[in-house]
Amino acid sequence: MVASASASADGWAAAGTAGTSRARTSDSSTERIRGKVPELDEGLLGTTDGSLVPHETVEQILRSTSLCRSQGSPLGPRSTGDAMCSPTGQDLGHSCDVEDLVQELLQTQDGVVSRRQLVALGMKDVEIVRRLRRREWKRIHPGVYVNHTGPPTWRQRAWAAVLYHWPAALAGDSAMHVHKVRGYEPRQNAPIEVCVDRVRNVKRRPGIVVRQHARFTTLCHMELDPPRERLEHAALGVASRKRRLDASVGVLADLVQDRRTTPGRLLAALAQRTRLRHRALLVAVLSDVASGVHSVLEHRYLVDVERAHGLPVGRRQRRVSIDGKTTYRDVEYRRQALMVELDGLLAHSATEDQWQDLERDVDTVITGGLTLRPGWIHVLEPCRLARAIATVLQARGWAGSITPCSADCRAFSAPGSENALQTA
């Protein structure tokens, strides 16, 4: 028989055996504890969905946490050995201490744990209250605690957000950070992004941004610590929420350039996200990335200069070897022996990179080629740059003509354009 405190009066249930004196006096004990720990009125011990007893069985909870991995057994062996323990601390062949399990879980989860997990391991609510009263633990969210009273670290805030909305996983910028993608170091006090299933009715919480996906577990690594969106899905989510096309291109191109993923993987992930914002635009962007566009600057050149003005299609990221060193051509017009190397603000800044640029230009001249190095200042005037590229291409044998990008295309007002053949 299980004795419980009055839920309507106390907001929480203290579980125990009916044969103990603590269970017989649970109502009066609860009132005394509530008077000393006012946080109980705010749902200190209550689960995040408002229920007093976890809906899942103990085995389901342990299977879904980082404490137990599925390795042949429904519960999985403990990381400290082969001894198996029941969640209530009963011996299953070897002695098991609940405190050891709790400490192992805290270590796995960066010092953060939920009431649901503690109850599953056999800890009673009165013990949780005792640790809170002694300031051994502190509440981060209702039903989620950290094992110190100082400011939580970013990873502890991330774990707390995941456990508060469990089952959940880190999403967006937060997922990119734990995947160790450069440029996604979290800002101070920035909210934690998590994703949950689309069918859930989510209770919002300050400091947490919740995104809902259909079949979200298939989009996430639920087995990692902490659980997180798969890299491709996290990147697509971040790119879809950018306000400018350049920013979306930058998110995806940087991942491909850093060899963290491939355009094929991103397109395969995009095929699963049929309701993603700006999906059609992202398909077009990924097609450009697949063709060899490795930066925002290169994408701007491809769309605004080359395509918009009818220039021949250049070959991108061709691998070449110079004196045993491997390098890549940004854009190569092979028939005209013209190389276009796009120098962005962050590119080619190191001394060694500058030497490689010079050696590459020398090699191009020796083989009868020519290298042009436009930067942002040139690409931001695409019509004028298109006129310049077209002039060089025509001088080196291109029989085509530049096409105006619009009725007021500035390519035909650029210096030296008076002899240009207007085909539109």
pTM above 0.75, yes or no: no
CA distance 251 to 254: 6
- Containing 174, the helix (H) or strand (E) segment is helix 172-178
Tell me the per-residue pLDDT of 164-193, one tens digit each, with 9 for 90 and over: 999 999 999 999 999 999 989 998 889 999
CA distance 371 to 337: 9
User: Around Cβ 91, how many Cβ atoms within 10 Å?
Assistant: 11
Phi, psi of 309 (to 5 degrees): -115, 15
Write the DSSP symbol of residue 45: S
Predicted confidence band at 75 (pLDDT cuts at 50, 70, 90)?
very low
Tell me the per-residue pLDDT of 211-242, one tens digit each, with 9 for 90 and over: 999 988 899 999 999 999 999 999 999 999 98
Q: What is the per-residue pLDDT for 171?
A: 96
Predicted confidence band at 76 (pLDDT cuts at 50, 70, 90)?
very low
- Containing 113, the helix (H) or strand (E) segment is strand 112-114
Domains of the chain with bracketed CATH? 7-152 (no CATH), 311-419 (3.40.960)
Nearest to 411 by CA among 379, 395, 388, 378: 388
Q: Is the pLDDT of residue 83 over 50?
A: no
